[in-house]
């Protein structure tokens, strides 16, 4: 989604080619890094997972 918006901005001359390349790199890096950060942030949250399991 962000890459489409960036491409439209470049096509309409709202951003420069230097800004375009920087924004593309930021979008790609954040897409790659986000799953690892989310996994790390929810890693120690095992107590709340036990609350969601039904007890018999």
Supply the pLDDT for residue 43.
82
CA 35 to chain centroid, in Å, comes to 8
Task: Indicate the range of 6-15, 29-38, 39-48 predicted with least confidence.
Answer: 39-48
Question: Measuring CA to CA, which residue among 39, 38, 14 is closest to residue 23?
Answer: 14
Report pTM.
0.67
What pLDDT was estimated at residue 48? Answer: 58
How many angstroms separate the CA atoms of 9 and 13, rounded? 6
* Residue 29 neighbours by CB under 8 Å, 6+ apart: none
Task: Write down the pLDDT at residue 53.
Answer: 66
6: number of Cβ within 10 Å: 20
Q: What DSSP designation does 17 have?
A: H
Residue 54 has pLDDT above 80, yes or no: no
- The rounded mean pLDDT for the chain is 87
């Amino acid at each position: 989604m962000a890459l489409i918006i960036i491409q439209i901005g470049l096509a309409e001359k709202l951003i420069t080619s230097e800004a375009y390349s920087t924004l593309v790199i930021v979008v790609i890096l954040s897409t790659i890094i986000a799953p690892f950060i989310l996994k790390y942030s929810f890693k120690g949250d095992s107590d709340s997972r036990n609350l969601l399991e039904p007890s018999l």
